[in-house]
Structure 1
Amino acid sequence: MDILQGRDFTGKVVVVTGANSGTGFETAKSFALHGAHVILACRNMARASEAVSRILEEWHKAKVEAMTLDLTLLRSVQRFAEAFKAKNVPLHVLVCNAAAFGIPWSLTKDGLETTFQVNHLGHFYLVQLLQDVLCHSAPARVVVVSSESHRFTDINDTSGNLDFGCLSPSQNDYWAMLAYNRSKLCNILFSNELHRRLSPRGVTSNAVHPGNMMYSSIHRSWWVWTLLFTLARPFTKSMQQGAATTVYCAAAPEMEGLGGMYFNNCCRCLPSAQAQSEETARALWELSTQLVQDRLGSVSG
């Protein structure tokens, strides 16, 4: 990847969620092939182990490993954070990449709509648990993978207040694409608020759009999505091209100390008006904190 040309990340530790396939895999591989210690944080350990083997086939000296992280279960997020901290290593880059897309309505064991928990709340909790490690490793960076689809939704009610019913809807109010769009809006709001809170401690955060309808495993939940993604495949980015913006925000020297922004094609662009709302971002942060506390009693570990 041109962005990393000539760069040596030996001594740097990178965690990528959902890294067993797609842009997450390309992001993890890019850092591993440039010397970083990379951890693939995945739910499916069989696929994650295969991904590790594929990276090692390209460079047998790569320092890469897989760890279990199931974002549908807050206790799993907690266990991952504990296992990571037990390694006593720093954390220089955290890429919140894993996502659910186009799935049928279901509730997680934590009682929340699955798309919302996987795409937003699980990552929110993961960052809370690892924020002290990030701060002690400063300068450190968080990259949250969002989408241009964030522009086609709203998460506030008619009074302008955050609507929990939009974020974690009932089965009767659920539409898979809308749930995904709302979760991607949450990604940008979360990234912006995270940057406001942690940048004084040397941790920056940016949100990125990897590309439209790229052919990855994200569409596997329904044959219609697979058909649409297959038809679009000749006109979309490759996985490596899709990972480029994530890697740029995670590694580019000119991004040092900069955050609270949204990137597409390695260029900063303005997200939707609601995504820029500091009030909505604070409300989402407070709601997310409360949701975790109601289920686990604490947002820190």
Structure 2
Amino acid sequence: MMCDLARLCSVREFAQSFKAKKLPLHILVCNAAVCTQPWRLTEDGLESTFQICHLGHFLLVQCLQDVLRRSAPARVVVVSSESHRFTDLLDSCGKVDLALLSPPKKEYWSMLAYNRAKLCNILFSNELHRRLSPHGVTSNAVHPGNMIYTSIHRSWWLMTVLFMMARPFTKSMQQGAATTVYCAVAPELEGLGGMYFNNCFRCMPSAQAQDQTCAASLWELSERLVAEGSVGVQAL
């Protein structure tokens, strides 16, 4: 089943098609991402890294949360990154700032956009767990490991060169998937969530990633964006 996270209408269509199959949903892994790609707006009027890495997954879970609740116990695993530690999302009033998440071209830096999206992943996972754990749905965020050789670097030649040079020392795909699989199926994590894992061990994310007020602010902004659809860019 195809789902294009860069198009919110595609996410909704995917969710409707999945629901039509009348299948349970015990494990949902939010894994897709882009990195170091040139600035572009999606058809929904938002910067593409932010939409693909965070907002598309947010809408997907929103559309499928009734299925997750009926399938309980169920787990959501959100793939983040240690890159989340090198940024912040708040404006001077302490609110999540859309101008930082979906910046205009002149203020865009691809690596910073990725870092911010990865911080969104942890905040989203934590707030999702807070909201759905009373209904038997847990959520955890994970860092898959440093320097896993994939095609995520394909948009920037310099990053491609660095990945090629480091390839003999990087994790295999199986090793990179281990933490995600652990959080998805480990019996000892049944009923537990709101945590961040690295190399199959729980670790503490950045202070902002643990901020409940920030998580709630991001959730409210994300709800507004998926409801508004293509007006995202005008909000800037």
Give the TM bin, normalised by the shorter chain. Answer: over 0.9
- What is residue 218 of structure 1 aligned with on the other side? 152
- What is residue 135 of structure 2 aligned with on the other side? 201
Distance 1:189 1:159 in 2: 18
Q: After superposition, where does 1:66-215 map in structure 2 within 5 Å?
A: 67-215=1-149
Distance 1:276 1:205 in 2: 14
Q: 1:236 aligns with which of 170, 175, 190?
A: 170
**Cα displacement (A) at 1:249:** 0.1
Residue 218 of structure 1 aligns to a residue in which SS?
Answer: coil
Distance 1:217 1:76 in 2: 23
Q: After superposition, where does 1:267-282 map in structure 2 within 5 Å?
A: 267-282=201-216
Distance 2:146 2:163 in 1: 9
Deviation digits for residues 179-207 of structure 1, max 9, x if unmatched?
00000000000000000000000000000
**Cα displacement (A) at 1:163:** 1.1
Deviation digits for residues 221-240 of structure 1, max 9, x if unmatched?
12111111111212221110
The one-letter code sitting in structure 1 at the alignment partner of 2:12 is Q
**Cα displacement (A) at 1:159:** 3.1
The one-letter code sitting in structure 1 at the alignment partner of 2:45 is G
TM-score after normalising by structure 1? 0.76
The higher-RCO structure (CA 8 Å, 6+ apart) is 2
Distance 2:114 2:129 in 1: 23
Identity across aligned pairs (percent)? 72
Distance 1:84 1:109 in 2: 23
Contact 2:44–2:230 (Cα < 8 Å) also in 1:
no
The one-letter code sitting in structure 2 at the alignment partner of 1:185 is L
Contact 2:120–2:218 (Cα < 8 Å) also in 1:
yes
TM-score after normalising by structure 2? 0.96
What are the ranges of 5 or more consecutive residues in structure 2 without an aligned counterpart?
232-236
Residue 124 of structure 1 aligns to a residue in which SS?
Answer: helix
What are the ranges of 5 or more consecutive residues in structure 1 without an aligned counterpart?
1-66
RMSD: 1.1
- What is residue 256 of structure 1 aligned with on the other side? 190
Q: After superposition, where does 1:16-31 map in structure 2 within 5 Å?
A: none
Aligned length: 231
Runs of at least 4 residues of structure 1 off by over 3 A? Answer: none
Residue 213 of structure 1 aligns to a residue in which SS?
Answer: coil
Residue 219 of structure 1 aligns to a residue in which SS?
Answer: coil
